[in-house]
């Protein structure tokens, strides 16, 4: 809560207790602040209030005043009488006001909740055993809290379309739909393109796409997340895994420099889905569909697992000492990556310094969408700048490096997570140097590399990225890397040791941060462990005036950098 | 003393030779009120309507002048006036008399009201099933426009206001003012939540909007003709003026009867004006003000206070035909569409018919009405088909209780009240029908009866 909110607090009486809540809050938000829950389906904090589910009904009352005189009406104890409304009110559309009395624990309110639950279940197919939402379904949760243990409904249920293919990534089950309209409001209000609507009336009301217009927007899967029941399901996740077996960890999307906060859900070393994690300063509760599919890459073929030297598999210790030998060459250069974490970039910078190698980088740009995909296709360009690994916005090619190779100024080249061929180096140039490649997948130029060594993907390691807002955000490890793959931090720490630069460099995050906070002014006072989940803004200083490519998107304005 | 009609709104309607065209209307003094009133300050007109005590004739009975004053004096947005002619309450057929037979009185009332609230544009939202009514109104508007009573610079006053006739798509819920506004905006007719969308604050296109029943607006023309204080003398306290009673069902002379509020009883209306029950029949029940008002059973006793404040016990026949009178007996005036049932009628069939109507007309927006309406209708239908269970009667009541007061709009209450009152007042009849089915007996065959064909 910020200071300005505190200045405009109002006191309400919630179930007999006087509590102070920020003005402008509705009762669902106020309850949340008090650590209580007013059950709701259709209300979503990031969408407009619709008020159709009627689950959040509470009884409200206001202190009574005499109509004629305006004087407060007192009871026998000298307290102002409360005029309770006989009609329950929806909490989501009731804004707190001074002296407002709220009851959530009486028979009227219980009756409302029980009634809504019974009505919603009357026509519901009750197919939880095969429903992907089971385990995280509001209807299921509230049914156990507010439902009966038997049904009074003996009529035929309303039959509606099931498994309707409404778009490339979503299947709709209309019988499960409780018509809360969250998905419709998401389309109309967040992505501002209408795809969904209701047809028919009454109990026969049905969610549907507009005829001939598939729901193919790149943010369509957010509707699956906000669907309070299993009506909208992701084709990718459908029937793959029961959600209660999945373990979520906090992560950051690497799709662009927007730095979307995510949760990565895994079981037994396998990622099953990625969902957005709410961060009001970055991505609200949303993320792109394309960002959710990035985990597929870490499972795909072509992962670089066993280290290879000269085309032969070799143990990692031996591989590292071979690399160290190559690094002792005076004419070494490094191609660093904006896909590496702040910590990795920091160690790479030290390695570059130790072996007096020039550092090159490539920029990756893409078309932004004005929402959560920015024009910079890397997650951590600003990390590379802050750690001092680079000092300028990198070019989109490596021609300068190519010229150096041609001139014989570079004989050993270490490449981290980049495609050198795509970046413009020729086969002849690659053949001319001793090439060490560290990456997640076997590159197209593998036959030119002297040493190939695998590194973990973002899901297989922990670290931090600095997004386009100069917000440092940490990500946790969801699954272990493939057997035999060392973390980039470990590799760099061992190389630093082997080249004799700094023996005993820490290969784990917390000690690395002790040095980072000391050596990088922007990170002063920060530590990995104390970094909050929502990240922390750091001062980009003079770097802010560099010509970054990002234009405005959801919570980013270039002028404010 | 025999009861007389007092025709104010229906003054000339059904007179031989009285037609709907503007010449006939003007020959009978039409538009004179407009020509005089438009020279007065708008606030004066609002004051006249406040003084008149006129209550809305659409069903809710909200004081018209009070509603108009909800528009904030600080408002800078355009103001809209909507005449609600979506007359779709079963049992109600008063507005169509005005629309078909005296459209110019409605148009004069609309322009007067629009001027009073300084509306920029007026609309008539007419139900889709009134194609003839829409044509008549559009023709009348053109006639009035040609004479300078509608459109630019009305009667040379400098005030301009046009009227657009918009036909509904056949949904009962679009008679609810916020559902109507959504429909008029081109959206699905979903009523809005209040708060925050009170029409006088955030109405049509999020601008202050007054939605009045078309009879209410027509009455404004007569109020301004005779003066608000004079009008207030007609009727009884808290219910000024006249009501057009639309009587349908089992009486000798069904029809519409304009009666001064509180100056006649249910019995007088049914027996004197409507000619009493059909031969050999006895009255059994009435739905006093359109299908959504609570049933009244003949034989029931009500305690009301008379003019001197003394409590007395009366039957249905003695209930005064006024809003407070019906309210005191646990029902309401509604839209004054009285449906009369006699002893030939099976009340379980009546309830099933009513419930089928609401299940069909529930818009499906909010949970209790969406599911409650169809569930209730299915139970009723099952009972009528011989598959009833004794516990169904209490279940019907219990489900109605779960809908009442918990919905976005009043349709939830409208569907709950007939169920509650029918179960309360005809519980034995419902149970007897089910018991007879269970025993394999069929009760005396009742006449097939339908509210909505």
pLDDT digits (tens, 9 = 90+) for B419-430: 999 999 999 999
Residue A502's pLDDT is 72
C-alpha distances out from residue A63 to A79, A82, A203, A299, B205, Å: 10, 4, 39, 62, 34
Query: Would the CB atoms of A119 and B375 count as touching at under 8 Å?
Result: yes
Q: Are both A308 and A267 inside the same structural domain?
A: no
Q: Which residue segment(s) compose the domain that A385 sits in? A: 302-551
C-alpha neighbours within 13 Å on the C-beta side of residue B145: 12
Q: Is the per-residue pLDDT at A130 higher than 70?
A: yes
Instruction: Report if residue A395 sits inside a domain.
Output: yes
Establish if A111 touches chain B: CB-CB under 8 angstroms.
yes
Q: Rounded distance, CA A38 to CA A28, Å?
A: 6
Structure tokens, B104: 């110019």
Q: What is the pLDDT of residues B245-291, one digit of tens each?
A: 999 999 999 999 999 999 999 999 999 999 999 999 999 999 999 99
Residue A108's pLDDT is 97
Q: Are both A547 and A400 inside the same structural domain?
A: yes
Q: Are both A256 and A393 inside the same structural domain?
A: no
Q: Are both A282 and A363 inside the same structural domain?
A: no
Instruction: Report if residue A431 sits inside a domain.
Output: yes
Q: Are both A374 and A517 inside the same structural domain?
A: yes
Residue A559's pLDDT is 73
Concatenate the DSSP letters of all residues of A370-400 into one string: SSS--SB--S-HHHHHHTTS-SSPPPSS-HH
End position of a domain, from candidates A70, A105, A140 = A105
Instruction: Report if residue A148 sits inside a domain.
Output: no
Instruction: Report if residue A134 sits inside a domain.
Output: no
Q: Are both A385 and A495 inside the same structural domain?
A: yes
Q: What is the pLDDT of residues B443-452, one digit of tens each?
A: 555 555 444 4
CATH classification number, B347-451, choose in 1.10.10.60, 1.10.287.130, 1.20.1440.230, 2.40.50.100: 1.20.1440.230
CATH code of A543's domain:
3.40.50.740
Query: Would the CB atoms of B367 and A197 count as touching at under 8 Å?
Result: no
Instruction: Report if residue A120 sits inside a domain.
Output: no
Residues in chain A: 561
CATH code of A203's domain:
3.30.70.20
Instruction: Report if residue A226 sits inside a domain.
Output: yes
Q: Reduce the DSSP state of residue A356 to 3 states and report it.
A: coil
* CB pairs A-B closer than 8 Å: 99
Q: Are both A514 and A387 inside the same structural domain?
A: yes
Q: Are both A366 and A490 inside the same structural domain?
A: yes
Q: What percent of chain B has pLDDT over 90?
A: 95
Residue of higher predicted confidence among A504 and A381: A381
In chain B, where are the structural domains located? 22-233, 237-342, 347-451
- How many beta carbons lie within 10 A of that of residue A393, not counting itself? 16
> Who's near A129: CB < 8 A, 6+ residues apart?
none
Q: Are both A404 and A268 inside the same structural domain?
A: no
Q: Which of residues 30-69 of A touch B (CB under 8 A)?
A: 49-55, 57
R_g over Cα of chain A? 29
Tell me what the pLDDT averaged over chain A comes to. 94
Q: Is the per-residue pLDDT at A384 higher than 80?
A: yes
Q: Are both A497 and A520 inside the same structural domain?
A: yes
Establish if A94 touches chain B: CB-CB under 8 angstroms.
yes
Q: Rounded distance, CA B283 to CA B278, Å?
A: 9
Domains contained in chain A, number = 3
Region A176-204: mean pLDDT is 97
ipTM of the complex: 0.94
The minimal CB distance from B195 to the residues A93, A112, A152 is found for A93
Residue A1's pLDDT is 42
Establish if B373 touches chain A: CB-CB under 8 angstroms.
yes
Q: What is the pLDDT of residues A412-434, one digit of tens each?
A: 999 999 999 999 999 999 999 99
Instruction: Report if residue A129 sits inside a domain.
Output: no
Specify whether the CB–CB gap between B124 and B163 falls below 8 A. yes
> Who's near A532: CB < 8 A, 6+ residues apart?
none
C-alpha neighbours within 13 Å on the C-beta side of residue A220: 23
C-alpha distances out from residue B124 to A224, B166, B183, B184, Å: 41, 6, 12, 10
Query: Minimal CA–CA distance to B232: which of B115, B103, B112, B65?
Result: B65
Residue A3's pLDDT is 45
C-alpha distances out from residue B410 to B37, B328, B415, Å: 35, 20, 9
Q: What is the pLDDT of residues A43-79, one digit of tens each?
A: 999 999 999 999 999 999 999 998 888 889 998 888 8
Q: Rounded distance, CA B256 to CA B246, Å?
A: 4
Residues of chain B with pLDDT under 50: 449-453
Region A155-184: mean pLDDT is 97
Is CATH 3.40.50.300 what the domain over B22-233 is classified as, yes or no?
no
DSSP H or E segment with residue A207: strand A206-209
Q: What percent of chain B has pLDDT over 70?
A: 97
Separation in Å, CA of A396 to nearest CA in chain B: 49
The class of domain B237-342 in CATH terms is alpha beta
pLDDT bucket at A560, cuts 50 / 70 / 90: low
C-alpha distances out from residue A335 to A326, A384, A414, Å: 15, 12, 6
Query: Would the CB atoms of B371 and A55 count as touching at under 8 Å?
Result: no
Q: Are both A397 and A474 inside the same structural domain?
A: yes
Q: Which residues of A touch B369 (CB under 8 A)?
A: 202
Residue A14's pLDDT is 97
Q: Which of residues 138-177 of A touch B (CB under 8 A)?
A: 152-153, 155-156, 158
Q: Rounded distance, CA A390 to CA B119, Å?
A: 66
Instruction: Report if residue A121 sits inside a domain.
Output: no
Residue A66's pLDDT is 87
Q: What is the pLDDT of residues A14-52, one digit of tens each?
A: 999 999 999 999 999 999 999 999 999 999 999 999 999
Specify whether the CB–CB gap between B200 and B44 falls below 8 A. no
Q: Reduce the DSSP state of residue A455 to 3 states and report it.
A: coil
CATH code of A76's domain:
3.10.20.740
> By CA distance, what is B402's nearest residue in A?
A115
């Amino acid at each position: 809560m910020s200071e300005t909110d505190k200045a405009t607090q109002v006191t309400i009486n919630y179930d007999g207790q006087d509590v102070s809540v920020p003005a402008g809050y509705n009762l669902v938000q106020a309850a949340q602040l008090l650590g209580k829950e007013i059950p709701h389906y259709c209300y979503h904090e990031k969408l407009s209030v619709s008020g159709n589910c009627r689950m959040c009904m509470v009884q409200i009352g206001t202190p009574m005043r005499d109509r004629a005189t305006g004087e407060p009406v007192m009871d026998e104890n000298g307290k102002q009488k409360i005029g309770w409304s006989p009609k329950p009110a929806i909490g989501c559309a009731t804004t707190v006001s001074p002296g407002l009395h709220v009851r959530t624990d009486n028979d009227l309110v219980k009756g409302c909740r029980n009634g809504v639950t019974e009505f919603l279940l009357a026509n519901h197919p009750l197919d939880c055993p095969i429903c992907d939402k089971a385990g995280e379904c509001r209807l299921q949760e509230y049914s156990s809290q507010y439902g009966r243990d038997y049904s009074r409904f003996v009529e035929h249920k309303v039959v509606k379309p099931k498994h309707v293919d409404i778009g490339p990534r979503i299947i709709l089950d209309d019988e499960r739909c409780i018509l809360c309209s969250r998905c419709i409001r998401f389309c109309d209000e967040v992505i501002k393109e209408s795809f969904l609507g209701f047809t028919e009336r009454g109990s026969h009301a049905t969610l549907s796409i507009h005829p001939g217009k598939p729901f193919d927007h790149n943010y369509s899967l957010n509707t699956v997340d906000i669907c309070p029941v299993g009506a909208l399901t992701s084709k990718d996740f459908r029937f793959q895994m029961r959600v209660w077996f999945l373990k979520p960890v906090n992560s950051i999307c690497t799709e662009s420099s927007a730095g979307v906060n995510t949760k990565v859900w895994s079981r037994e070393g396998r990622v099953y889905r990625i969902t957005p994690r709410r961060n009001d300063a970055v991505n609200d509760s949303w993320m792109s569909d394309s960002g959710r599919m990035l985990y597929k890459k870490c499972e795909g073929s072509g992962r670089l697992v066993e280290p290879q030297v000269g085309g032969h598999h070799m143990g990692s210790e031996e591989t590292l000492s071979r690399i160290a030998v190559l690094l002792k060459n005076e004419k070494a250069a490094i191609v660093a990556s904006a896909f590496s974490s702040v910590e990795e970039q920091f160690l790479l910078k030290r390695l570059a310094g130790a072996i007096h190698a020039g550092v090159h980088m490539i920029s990756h740009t893409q078309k932004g969408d004005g929402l959560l995909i920015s024009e910079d296709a890397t997650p951590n360009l600003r990390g590379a700048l802050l750690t001092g690994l680079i000092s300028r916005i990198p070019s989109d090619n490596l021609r300068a490096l190519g010229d150096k190779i041609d001139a014989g100024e570079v004989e050993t080249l270490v490449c981290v997570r980049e495609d050198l061929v795509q970046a413009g180096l020729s086969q002849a140039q690659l053949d001319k140097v001793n090439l060490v490649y560290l990456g997640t997948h076997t590159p197209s130029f593998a036959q030119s590399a002297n040493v190939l060594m695998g590194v973990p993907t973002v899901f297989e390691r922990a670290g931090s990225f600095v997004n386009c807002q100069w917000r440092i955000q940490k990500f946790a490890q969801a699954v272990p890397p493939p057997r035999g793959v060392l973390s980039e931090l470990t590799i760099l720490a061992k190389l630093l040791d082997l080249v004799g630069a700094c023996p005993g460099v820490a290969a784990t995050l917390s000690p690395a941060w002790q040095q980072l906070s000391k050596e990088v002014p922007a990170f002063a006072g920060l530590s990995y462990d104390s970094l909050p989940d929502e990240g922390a803004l750091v001062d980009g200083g003079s770097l802010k005036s560099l010509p970054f490519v990002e234009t405005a998107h959801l919570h980013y304005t270039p002028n404010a950098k | 003393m025999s009861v007389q009609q007092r025709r104010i709104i229906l003054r000339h309607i059904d007179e031989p030779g009285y037609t709907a065209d503007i010449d006939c209307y003007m020959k009978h003094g039409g538009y004179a009120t407009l020509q005089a009133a438009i020279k007065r300050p708008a606030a004066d007109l609002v004051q006249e309507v406040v003084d008149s005590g006129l209550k809305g004739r659409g069903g809710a009975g909200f004081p018209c002048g009070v509603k108009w004053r909800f528009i904030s004096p600080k408002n800078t947005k355009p103001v809209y006036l909507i005449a609600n002619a979506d007359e779709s309450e079963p049992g109600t057929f008063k507005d169509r008399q005005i629309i078909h037979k005296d459209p110019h009185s409605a148009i004069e009332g609309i322009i007067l009201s629009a001027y009073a609230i300084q509306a920029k544009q007026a609309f008539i939202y007419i139900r889709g099933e009134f194609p003839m009514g829409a044509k008549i109104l559009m023709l009348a508007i053109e006639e009035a426009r040609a004479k300078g009573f509608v459109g630019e610079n009305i009667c040379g006053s400098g005030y301009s206001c046009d009227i657009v006739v918009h036909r509904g798509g056949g949904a009962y819920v679009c008679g609810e003012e916020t559902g109507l506004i959504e429909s008029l905006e081109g959206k699905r007719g979903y009523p809005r939540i209040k708060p925050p969308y009170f029409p006088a604050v955030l109405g049509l296109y999020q601008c202050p909007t007054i939605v009045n029943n078309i009879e209410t607006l027509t009455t404004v023309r007569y109020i301004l003709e005779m003066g608000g204080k004079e009008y207030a003398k007609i009727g009884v306290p808290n219910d000024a003026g006249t009501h057009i009673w639309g009587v349908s069902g089992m009486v000798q002379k069904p029809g519409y009867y304009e009666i001064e509020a509180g100056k006649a009883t249910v019995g007088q209306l049914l027996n004197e004006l409507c000619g009493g029950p059909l031969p050999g029949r006895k009255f059994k029940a009435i739905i006093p003000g359109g299908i959504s008002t609570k049933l009244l059973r003949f034989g029931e006793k009500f305690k009301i206070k008379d003019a001197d404040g003394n409590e007395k016990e009366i039957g249905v026949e003695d209930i005064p035909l006024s809003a407070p009178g019906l309210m005191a007996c646990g029902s309401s005036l509604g839209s004054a569409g009285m449906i009369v049932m006699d002893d030939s009628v099976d009340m379980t069939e009546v309830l099933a018919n009513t419930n089928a109507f609401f299940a069909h007309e529930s818009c499906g927006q909010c949970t209790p009405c969406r599911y409650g309406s169809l569930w209730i209708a299915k139970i009723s239908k099952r009972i009528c088909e011989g598959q009833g269970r004794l516990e169904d009667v209490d279940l019907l009541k219990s489900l109605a209780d779960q809908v009442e007061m918990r919905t976005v709009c009043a349709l939830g209450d409208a569907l709950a009240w007939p169920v509650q009152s029918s179960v309360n007042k005809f519980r034995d009849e419902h149970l007897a029908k089910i018991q007879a089915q269970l025993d394999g007996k069929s009760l005396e065959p009742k006449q097939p009866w339908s509210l909505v064909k």
